[in-house]
Structure 1
Amino acid sequence: MDGEAEAAPKRRRVVVGQRQRLAAAEAQQDQPSVSESVLAKDLKERWSWGDLSVQAMQALAAKAVKDFENCGAKAPTELQALAKLGSGGIHPNNMRREIMKITEVGCRLPPLQRTALQFKQPWGNQPQLMMLPHEMFSALYENYHEAFKRYVVADANVLQEFWRLQKKHPQFKDHPVVSQASFEPRKFVPLSLHGDGTPAIGVGKIWSRMLTTWSWCSLVGGPAWTKDSQLPIYFLFDETDDGTAATTFLSMLAWSFKVLQEGLWPFADHKGNLYPPTSDLGRKAGSPLAGGWKGVIWALVGDLEYMVSRLNMPHFGQKHNPCGLCKCSGDETSTSWRNCKPTAPWLSMQWSLAEWRSFPDRPKNPLFDSGVCSALSCHMDYMHTKYLGLDPLGFGSVLSLLVNFVLPDSPLANLRCVWEHLLSSYKALKIVERFRGMRKLSLFQRKKLPPKLKGRAMQIQALGEPLLLCWQNFMNKDLEIHLKIENYLKVNLALEKILHATRTEMAMPPDHAEKFKKLAFGLCQLHRQLREHFEGNYFADLPKMHFFLHACLLADVLHPRLTWCFKGEDLQKISRTLAGSCCRAVTGPRAAAKMSQQLRIAWHLRLDRLCGE
């Protein structure tokens, strides 16, 4: 109608905040795309070492991307890729396959060596993956050269000095490589091969699963963390092996070290099959492996159980030939290993390489049979023979004597008194590696056997000086046996001080080495004398005492710190964590293959970061 006002146009409904959100979305699209992410790199590295599952990694990345969106920012594409794993978390079973594709991009480490090994039933014949030393050595030189200079060999002059010192080593004379006139000391890198078993699944349980890990490192590399210098080769679950798989693997390992000795890419694989001329390995055949650098296996390290079970070395508990380094006996005769005097007959009965090769009953395994090393390459581990061998028996006996005889109250009350004194010494000496507490007598007392202190190697190593101060505080200075125990602890501490003072040397200087050897023999003699005084109830002896002396005898040739197993034990911890991560869906050989795949990525990420620093 004419009198009616025209209808007002309808107003567009706008949801509160819609304009702001649209503007933020447009601004986000205009932002430059950032590809790299510090968080994404850290998440991938944690996953590769087994600290995070791939599902947890994806969930954390997705939450980080959500935070970016809530702030009106665009997440880095590297982080977005992790958040999209498994269709954004919908299909978790696909995540591992997808992350392997992502992390493979840019990896400059060689592909894993793939071979089939025969295992126990029900596993049977299974494909296995391993990182062979000659391929890793070459990749470090070619693709991660900064890491090669830092952790493999920094200076050719260091090599020349190392091989000069090794002329006194028992395996130097008649060695197939280093004793030759054509030997170039400035080109050969001495390598150490570590092997050991550790419970990887069900740690502390009766059904725990043992895992044997092999790794190698340079003996002339710079100081480094285990993740930087101890390179893994292969993992083997002990329950799956009847001896066939380990023997085949050691044959491949011997071939790989043989290639390293020659310093040239091989024309054929470990079985003698020629590489096709058009393949990558075929094209490289005959060319230098690492710019003229070569490697020679110089030290085999591990605990005594590993050397017996995997290298077929003589069992240390047998009466006849219990040692692979000398011709001592395990009985009570004059040639017994129990003779710890500097004039002991077994000192003049040590094997030479020529004698060992002609001995018909010598230990045999693929490494020894190939000639790349021998039983004389076995270096007795100072950590296992002293900190986990001799010291637990000695320190446990001292603690037991303190709480049961020296102090006046009940054993538990005396133990509290001893612990308070040890704790005050820990603080005064600023010792970090401490025992957490000593509340139970079972820490060092056994029901039917002489006392033996339980603990980690570093804890026992650090206990020497506090225990000496504790004994001096409570001992009776009028008793000869108390004075002898004090002397025993003083000699032990003096050994550790020399070891620490020369820690940066490849070998101990002659004066330090001579004193170190005298103290080592003196320590073992005192241990034996104390055992005889207490009629075997305290200070028990064990074969590790003999192997401890072998480790000390080479102090002027190769420093005990270069061949002790602390780095190898650190790698065992990494192996346990990684095994726990890889054994959630599979077990046995398949889990070992997953571990190798994941650790290859871990090493690439680690080396890539080191070279970029």
Structure 2
Amino acid sequence: MQALAAKAVKDFENCGAKAPTELQALAKLGSGGIHPNNMRREIMKITEVGCRLPPLQRTALQFKQPWGNQPQLMMLPHEMFSALYENYHEAFKRYVVADANVLQEFWRLQKKHPQFKDHPVVSQASFEPRKFVPLSLHGDGTPAIGVGKIWSRMLTTWSWCSLVGGPAWTKDSQLPIYFLFDETDDGTAATTFLSMLAWSFKVLQEGLWPFADHKGNLYPPTSDLGRKAGSPLAGGWKGVIWALVGDLEYMVSRLNMPHFGQKHNPCGLCKCSGDETSTSWRNCKPTAPWLSMQWSLAEWRSFPDRPKNPLFDSGVCSALSCHMDYMHTKYLGLDPLGFGSVLSLLVNFVLPDSPLANLRCVWEHLLSSYKALKIVERFRGMRKLSLFQRKKLPPKLKGRAMQIQALGEPLLLCWQNFMNKDLEIHLKIENYLKVNLALEKILHATRTEMAMPPDHAEKFKKLAFGLCQLHRQLREHFEGNYFADLPKMHFFLHACLLADVLHPRLTWCFKGEDLQKISRTLAGSCCRAVTGPRAAAKMSQQLRIAWHLRLDRLCGE
């Protein structure tokens, strides 16, 4: 880049013209290319000019050896919240909150939420619904280095967003907080970080700049933070953490929620069991006993074996703040098992030729349906049976969440084309696919709502329970060789039960996954010279500048 800029500057000079200032600055990087190791520092210095985001919070965290004690950089939520309001007001209105009336409606809907009653903030008589912005905290791990290799390195990314912000799909509204390479952490670094995060959200609840840091050390009165202490954080706006989102593995490993595979107390939202008794999560009927065994906030607080972590212990949220992700529980949970089983039955039993020849026939039909329905998120092809068949386990379709979501209707049309209408089991599979599609149509029809209207929500819940019951019945018919069940089925139902309170699209992880793609790319570039905590700090520095440039452009549009 520096060499190209230098040549461009020379071309300008040869023409008797003056090169743009930015081009000249790039050409001078590293003393004109003599010292390339200095280029990154000089680029950061150039791009830092005009950045209106707050300086990164600097703190030392303890990591595994050989890393030991390392300085880390974070973008804490209360500082970002304030900076958006003060310096990027257009972005604040678009991505955080535009209208106090929206907040009034949101909190009216939340009165039916299990965590509303006895909540330390929203249940109080002094609560101002037109001032408190509900926030979502997303956390998840992703392979960042050596993706697809046995030696790949996992990176956990934390980010937050407003639940009443702008377009639900934009990744600009998902604001990063911190990155942690899993191999460097023995639990100490993550715990310390979550303590800082809990303090930051506590500050947001109060809506005032704090007098002391997360350790209780008072800010010097003459410092920038000392002068701001006690003043409004964002013109009277406050924030409360209302939703913790992520996949089940993240909730177990980072939030210490119960493991979904254990027989005793596998769910942090209800008192179901993991065995075959009447209280089992496997009971998917609308009259299942576990439905009347869901935790209230008061019961959860008095439970001695409740999950504990700095976020829960601080009181800013609880296990009832955990919202089961519709994307992971359905598109990457229930659907791959159901769709994989349907495809396996088609190629092995329903169609007359060899499995591979049958697969080609199925793919041709799916492809024609893709085109007729104008579906963009398609599978690129189905050339191998290993796409959905496993050697020793029931079938499970591989693919991205959007690909699996978009497959529902084409697969239904394909099954209807090849099924035997005289066989009861074929009709039951057709009904299974129809119920699945009906769920998706309701989800799409209500996509702009904060919560589903009562009639839609009631039908949505009924269909969700019906889908899980059909899945279980098909599993029993095929004696466990197809339509395998898994705990995600239970958590999928939990996500659907809140449809009339909070729309599943508001708490699914698509936005967080989009940010993880950015994290992977950034980690790849930052780990070329350094690793572990130093790479994470480098990522935070670069992402802060990138977010400033994006927000600045947005405010200028």
Q: Normalising by structure 1, report the TM-score.
A: 0.90
What displacement does 1:71 show?
A: 4.6
CA contact (8 A) 1:226 1:571 kept: no
Instruction: State which drifts further: 74-83 or 584-593.
Output: 74-83
Equivalent position to 2:295, from 351, 369, 388:
351
Choose from 355, 362, 365 the match for 1:421: 365
- Higher mean alpha-carbon deviation, 189-198 vs 101-110, is at 101-110
Distance change (3 Å), C-alpha of 1:63 and 1:154? farther
Q: Deviations over 1:461-484 (max 9, x none)?
A: 000000000000000000000000
Displacement of 1:507: 0.3
Say whether 1:584 aligns with 2:514.
no
In the alignment, what sits opposite 1:231? 175
CA root-mean-square deviation? 0.9
Distance 1:491 1:63, change over 3 A: farther
Residue 138 of structure 2 aligns with which residue? 194
Q: Deviations over 1:560-606 (max 9, x none)?
A: 00000000001110000000010000000000000000000001111
What residue number does 1:482 align with? 426
Contact 1:313 1:363 in 2 (8 A): yes
Write out per-residue CA displacement over residues 494-538 of structure 1, whole angstroms, 9 at most, x where no aligned residue: 000000000000000000000000000000000000000000000
| Residue range with higher mean Cα deviation, 103-112 or 401-410 | 103-112
Looking at structure 1, the residues matched to 160 and 515 of structure 2 have their Cα atoms a distance apart, in angstroms, of 11
Between the aligned partners of 1:523 and 1:513, the Cα distance in structure 2 is 15
CA drift of 1:104 comes to 1.1
Give CA deviations for 1:81-100 in whole Å, capped at 9, x if unaligned: 11211122221100011111
> Residues 461 and 60 of structure 1: is their aligned pair in 2 closer, same or farther, counting only changes over 3 Å?
farther
Whole-angstrom distance in 1 between the partners of 2:27 and 2:368: 51
Task: Give me the whole-angstrom Cα distance separating, in 1, the residues matched to 2:7 and 2:483.
Answer: 59
Alignment match, 2:82: 138
DSSP 3-state at the match of 2:547: helix
Contact 2:171 2:511 survives alignment (8 Å): no
Q: Please give the alpha-carbon distance, in whole angstroms, between the structure 2 residues aligned to 1:532 and 1:97.
A: 62
- 2: CA distance, partners of 1:167 / 1:195: 26
Judging changes above 3 Å, is the alpha-carbon distance between structure 1 residues 436 and 63 closer, same or farther for their aligned structure 2 residues? farther
More off after superposition, 183-192 vs 83-92: 83-92
**Deviation at residue 556 of structure 1 after TM alignment:** 0.2
2:48/2:545 contact within 8 Å kept: yes
**Contact 2:207 / 2:232 at 8 angstroms: preserved in 1?**
yes
Confirm or deny: 8 A CA contact 1:450 1:539 kept in the other structure: yes
In 2, the alpha carbon distance for the partners of 1:159 and 1:64 equals 52
Match of 2:445 in 1: 501
Task: Identify if the C-alpha distance between structure 1 residues 176 and 208 changes in structure 2 by more than 3 Å, giving closer, same or farther.
Answer: same
Partner of 1:434: 378
**Whole-angstrom CA distance in 1 between matches of 2:153 and 2:397:** 25
Superposition deviation, residue 79 in structure 1: 1.8
Whether the 8 Å CA contact 2:329–2:489 is kept in 1: the answer is yes
**1:433/1:462 contact within 8 Å kept:** yes
Query: In structure 2, do the counterparts of structure 1 residues 111 and 449 end up closer, same or farther at CA, with 3 Å as the change threshold?
Result: same
Report the CA distance between 1:75 and its aligned residue: 1.6
State the partner residue of 1:114: 58
| Contact 1:264-1:289 within 8 A present in 2 as well | yes
For 1:269-326, what per-residue CA distance to the aligned partner results, in whole angstroms no more than 9, with x for missing partners? 0000000001000000000000000000000000000000000000000000000000
Measure the CA separation in 1 of the matches of 2:395 and 2:13. Answer: 63
- The answer to whether the Cα contact below 8 Å between 1:213 and 1:234 also exists between their aligned partners in 2 is yes
Q: TM-score, normalised by structure 2?
A: 0.99
Give the C-alpha shift of residue 438 in structure 1: 0.3
Instruction: Pick which of 90-99 and 193-202 moved more.
Output: 90-99
Go from structure 1 to structure 2 and tell me whether the alpha carbon gap of 1:185 and 1:59 turns closer, same or farther (over 3 Å shift). farther
Q: How far apart are 1:60 and its partner, in Å?
A: 4.1
**What SS does the corresponding residue of 1:318 show, helix, strand or coil?**
coil
Q: How far does the alpha carbon of each residue in 1:415-441 deviate from its partner, in whole angstroms, 9 at most, with x for none?
A: 000000000000000000000000000
Contact conserved, 1:261 with 1:296, CA < 8 A, in 2? yes
1:220 maps onto 2:164 in alignment: yes
Equivalent residue for 2:403? Answer: 459
Question: 1:161 — aligned with what?
Answer: 105
Please say if 1:207 is aligned against 2:161.
no
How far apart in 2 are the matches of 1:565 and 1:59?
41
CA distance in structure 1 between the partners assigned to 2:56 and 2:219 by the alignment: 16
Q: Which whole-Å deviations, capped at 9, do the CAs of 1:114-138 have from their partners, x for residues lacking one?
A: 0000000000000000000000000
Partner of residue 259 from structure 1, selected from 180, 194, 203: 203
Q: Distance in 1 between matches of 2:29 and 2:337?
A: 53
Quick one: structure 1 residues 484 and 258, their matched pair in 2 at CA, closer, same or farther if it must change by over 3 Å?
same
Secondary structure of 1:310's aligned partner: helix
Structure 2 CA distance for partners of 1:470 and 1:70, relative to 1, 3 Å: farther
1:210 CA drift (Å):
0.2
Return 5+ residue gaps in structure 2 as ranges. none
Distance 1:227 1:530 in 2: 38
Say if 2:256 and 2:308, in contact at 8 Å, map to a contact too. Answer: yes
How far apart, in 2, do the equivalents of 1:498 and 1:523 lie? 14
Moved more, 59-68 or 602-611: 59-68
Alpha-carbon distance between aligned partners in 1 of 2:382 and 2:16, rounded to the nearest angstrom: 56
Percent of residue pairs bearing the same amino acid type? 100
> Which residue of structure 2 aligns with residue 445 of structure 1?
389
Contact 2:168 2:505 (8 Å CA) reproduced: no
Distance 1:71 1:402, change over 3 A: farther
The match for 1:573 is 517
C-alpha distance after superposition, 1:221-255 (max 9, x if no partner): 01166442000000000000000000000000000
> What is the CA deviation profile of residues 57-112 of structure 1, one whole-angstrom value per residue up to 9, with x for unaligned ones?
43443344344345543221122111211122221100011111111111111100
1:326 aligns to 2:270 (yes or no): yes
The answer to whether the 8 Å contact 1:406/1:475 transfers is: yes
Cα deviation, 1:350-377, whole Å, max 9, x if unaligned, reads: 0000000000000000000000000000
CA distance in 2, matches of 1:63, 1:365: 56
Equivalent-residue separation in structure 1 for 2:396 and 2:176 (angstroms): 33
Q: Shift in Å at residue 559 of structure 1?
A: 0.2
545-554 or 67-76, which deviates more: 67-76
CA distances 1:134-192 after superposition (whole Å, capped 9, x unpaired): 00000000011111011100110000000000000000000000000000000000000
Instruction: Supply the distance in 1 between the matched residues of 2:10 and 2:461 (Cα, whole angstroms).
Output: 64
Q: Is 1:280 aligned with 2:209?
A: no
Name the CA distance, whole Å, in 2 between partners of 1:601 and 1:290. 22
SS in 1 for 2:231: coil
Where does residue 170 of structure 1 map in the other structure? 114
> Which deviations, in whole Å up to 9, do the C-alpha atoms of 1:342-397 show, x marking residues without a partner?
00000000000000000000000000000000000000000000000000000000
Describe the shift of the 1:155–1:334 C-alpha distance in structure 2 as closer, same or farther (beyond 3 A).
same
Q: Is the 8 A contact 1:151 1:224 kept in 2?
A: no
Q: Which residue of 1 aligns with 2:501?
A: 557
Q: Distance in 2 between matches of 1:458 and 1:104?
A: 37
Partners in 1 of 2:449 and 2:398 — Cα distance? 31
Contact 2:442–2:460 under 8 Å retained in 1: yes
Number of matched residues? 557
Confirm or deny: 8 A CA contact 1:192 1:216 kept in the other structure: yes
Matched-pair contact (CA < 8 Å) for 2:394–2:480 = yes
In 2, the alpha carbon distance for the partners of 1:599 and 1:448 equals: 44
Retained in 2: the 8 A contact 1:327–1:349? yes
Give yes or no for contact 2:168–2:506 (8 Å, CA) kept in 1.
no
